[in-house]
Amino acid sequence: MIYQTQIVFVEYLLRIFLPCLKRGKLTLPKFFIVIPTYNRDSLLPKAIESVLQQKYDEFTIIIIDDGSNDNTEIIVQNFIKKYSYLILYQKQENGGVCSARNSGITKALEQSENIKNEYIFFLGDDDELVHNSLNRIAESIIKYPKIQRFLFQTIDQDGRKTSWVKGDDLILDYKEVVKSEKFGGEMHPIMRLNLFLNPYYRFNENVNGGESILWLKISKRVKTRAINRITYLIHNENISLSRQYLNSSYLLNAYKIYYILLRGYESDFYVWNKKRLASLYMNLAICTALLRNKKMSFIYFTKSIKLFPKNYFNILRYSICLFDRTYKINNHFTRKIKGWRD
């Protein structure tokens, strides 16, 4: 009861202070919102509009076009004609989503004016910010000014949560991030921009995706505050066929991501999250089985089973992968069984 009263009181104060901040008496946090995009001219406008419709003024949209050959540039330039003071656009040779995100970080650092009060996050070109997201994020930043990394909740296009947090505002150190007992799913991370003054904190451009590699690096340096408020909408229905179905390129990329995670964090997972380590071994086993390296695959499979012997679902997945040379069985189950592709 006391805790609920404190929450209500803080929200009351924020309702008073935010208008004052907007009148210039205090400084609002500024957001750099990086949207990497590639050949999504039909989806990108909705992502941009979801930011422009926010009831919050202190932001800059940075659109990194990763070599699109559709109408992306024309569409973005039409937005710039009306919102030139809010949108920056940069086109580069195709280098993958991690390269585009890193270019967005560099662009944000170039535009920075008050780096200790500036924050950065990434928006998928097929996703959206929910209504009033930036105000919610700003309220948490004002409430916890010493925190450099926040996690907010997400929903899908049907309004179902795609993340979870046990509690309201949780403080997480590196150990708790690795354990992942108090939060999970597709969280929406917000970082203070000054974290990226160190070039060590960049996305790995040798893989496509693999955001968790960078998030774990950052979690080693700073504490994270997980906020039980929704800010981000994920459009799962827009996932491309290349991401829905297995092929050799997808498997090689997945193998690289799992291997990088294993190489960097195996000992930490073993101490604090054996279940996740078992899952990592199993994913490596499945990738190597489908890539026809059965000897290496069996080594990873054995390590996984030693840690988590009763995971019958994954044992079934692995057994099928040993014989699924054309990926047809896996792709069939991907369509039929939720969670078949972990």
Tokens of 335: 């369509």
Closest CA to 56 of 81, 88, 19: 19
Classified as helix, coil or strand, 224 is strand
Q: Which residues of 180-190 are buried (b: 16+ CB within 10 A; e: fewer)?
A: eeebeeebbbb
Specify the pLDDT at position 242.
42
* Banded model confidence at residue 244, pLDDT cuts 50, 70, 90: low
Query: Which H or E run contains 184?
Result: strand 183-185
User: Using CB atoms within 10 A of its CB, is residue 109 exposed (0-12), middle (13-18) or buried (19+)?
Assistant: middle
Residue 88 pairs with which residues in a beta bridge? Answer: 62
Provide the phi-psi class of 154: left if phi over 0, else alpha when psi is between -120 and 50, else beta: beta
User: What is the reported pLDDT for 18?
Assistant: 55
Task: Choose among 195, 58, 63: nearest CA to 138.
Answer: 58
C-alpha 101/C-alpha 283 separation (Å) is 26
Strands of 222-321 (E only): list them.
Answer: 224-234
Tens digits of per-residue pLDDT, 315-326? 888 888 888 777
DSSP H or E stretch at residue 171? strand 169-172
Closest CA to 129 of 210, 31, 16, 244: 31
217-254 burial, b if ≥16 CB within 10 A, otherwise e? bbbeebbbbbbbbbbbbbbeebeeeeeebbeeebbebb
User: What are the angstrom distances between the C-alpha of 245 and each of 34, 93, 339?
Assistant: 27, 26, 13
More confident residue, 42 or 248: 42
Tokens of 123: 């928006």
DSSP state of 61: E
pLDDT at 342: 54
If you search the block for the tokens 């990226």, which residue do you land on? 196
Phi-psi region of 68 (alpha: psi -120 to 50; beta: other; left: phi over 0): beta
Cα 293 versus chain centre, distance: 31
pLDDT bin (cut points 50, 70, 90) of residue 2 is very low
DSSP-derived letter for residue 26 is S
Q: Boundaries of CATH 3.90.550.10 in the chain?
A: 2-238
> Above 50 in pLDDT, residue 3?
no
If one compares 107 and 9, the residue with the highest pLDDT of the two is 107
Q: What are phi and psi of 231, to 5 degrees?
A: -130, -10
- pLDDT-based confidence at 246, cuts 50/70/90? confident
In the predicted model, is pLDDT for residue 243 greater than 60? no
Instruction: Give the pLDDT confidence score for residue 231 in this predicted structure.
Output: 98
Q: What mean pLDDT is predicted for residues 86-93?
A: 98
Give the burial class of 95: count Cβ atoms within 10 A of its Cβ; 0-12 exposed, 13-18 middle, 19 or more buried: middle
pLDDT tens string 112-145: 999 999 999 999 999 999 999 999 999 999 999 9
- Give the CATH superfamily of 2-238: Spore Coat Polysaccharide Biosynthesis Protein SpsA; Chain A (3.90.550.10)
Q: Answer yes or no: is pLDDT of 239 > 60.
A: no
Mean pLDDT computed over 32-53: 97
Q: Look at residue 12 and tell me whether its pLDDT is greater than 80.
A: no
Instruction: Give the model confidence (pLDDT) of 153-211 as tens digits.
Output: 999 999 999 999 998 899 999 999 999 999 999 999 999 999 999 999 999 999 999 99
Q: Does the pLDDT value for residue 66 go beyond 70?
A: yes
Cβ neighbors of 270 (< 8 A, separation 6 or more) are 277
Higher pLDDT, 88 or 333: 88
Q: Report pLDDT digits (tens) over 99-109.
A: 999 999 999 99
Q: How far is Cα 28 from Cα 22, in angstroms, rounded to an integer?
A: 7
Give the global pTM.
0.88
Confidence label for 233 from pLDDT (cuts 50, 70 and 90): very high
Distance of CA 201 to the CA centre of its chain: 15
